[in-house]
Chain A
Amino acid sequence: MKRDILDRLVAAKEAALPVALVTDLNSGLQSLVYDDAVHGGFGLEPDLLDEVRRRIRQDRSGLLTDPQDEDGFKLFVHVHNPAMRLLIVGAVHIAQALAPVAALTGYDVTVIDPRGAFATEARFPGTKLSDLWPDEALAALKPDVRTAIVTLTHDPKLDDPALIAALRSPAFYVGALGSKRTHALRLDRLRDEGLSEAEVKRIRGPVGLSIGAVTPSEIAIAILAQITCVRRGENHPC
């Protein structure tokens, strides 16, 4: 790998730009494919370029081979997408366990809580914090299909606006802490706010896989296990 390619790849990852490193396994030549540009050792035909960009959107690394000719081109597409994001609403005790466990798993974590005493650097060392109201924070952070959102405050004034914003976003996971009874009351309130049945059904609640979790750390593990299951676990009940 040429230094120039490696440096550009590291820079793209640092800037959270989606990029694919395409390697011709026959020659060793490499090119970087961005959303709007290509840089490197060889050009790509328009249909191959389209396929590489499709792979970036699907987050799917793998080989591309010439369907016409077994000995033809053999390209390896290595997709480097920005980290998946986890937005935690409520800088509570469970969040103090969930934030580091999610970071260890590779998530880019932001903890949202407008109550100043909760979202402090001392309680969340090294974690991104937002003191905006949850609906404003979510509007600013623009959740996408690579974003998971969990509400943990137990306070409808904070959780409900967050859930409404979350359900109207393409976030791949929306979870809400609360017992079955709390959750049923919550769904009633959200229906009253005009959310459809299909929308409220997207909420995972009570949040987390059912593993008998009791302590804040165990609940954090159950939540991250459920997020992992939704992301990866085709054919697994989550």
Chain B
Amino acid sequence: MAGIAARLRITPFGLICLLGLVATLYLSLIWAPRERVMGDVQRIMYFHVASAWIAEFAFVLVGVSSVIYLWLRERKWDIVAYSAAEIGFVFCCFVMITGPIWGKPVWGTWWTWDPRLTFSMILWLIYVAYLMLRVYGDDMPQVKTFLAVLGILGTIDIPFIHFATMWWRGLHPDSLVMTEEGLGAGMEVDMRIALGVSAVVFTLLFFYLMGRRMALERLRDEAEDLRERVEHRHPGSVGV
């Protein structure tokens, strides 16, 4: 265990997040009551909904930092946008994987073009494009501007995902978390606690990953700076 933590370079804060995840696992799989209609498969919700919350939060952060980047043109906001986009994409993948796994036994199908699912797929594809552009054309200033615009476009998709179940008729159930009666009023108290803990732990994990990912970008900048210094003194010595 200590060996894996060392290989992953997990800090004490990261360790707290991982322990929190183990506690969430216990609350979701053992402590929370079994749902009467769907049975145990409903327990996927505790990680599915928490992942969706983080993906949405991350992509809103991408949008906000992209707007600030377009305004101030400061590299730090570009770093925030890139880091949040990558982490948001990872959690969006979790949503896109666990959703169909939950849907198959409950709806009888892996996938349907339900409005919420369709807008989620659009968001996922926007971020595939965003991250591909980051990998292949990140060095050019005009690409950075385009990336910021794409990041903002992705954020515009989020309200459509969030309110799709209210605005259109589809297979995806209405939100049990944000209801007219109050936060989590559609669930039993124990389920609400398990989901609340899961959301808090995933949020902490997001901030931990943001710290790691932003530090990585700063290392990349430092390497780029040093490469330029070597190239300046000895042209042709550093490979592209």
Q: Do A and B come from one complex?
A: no
B interface vs A, CB < 8 Å? none
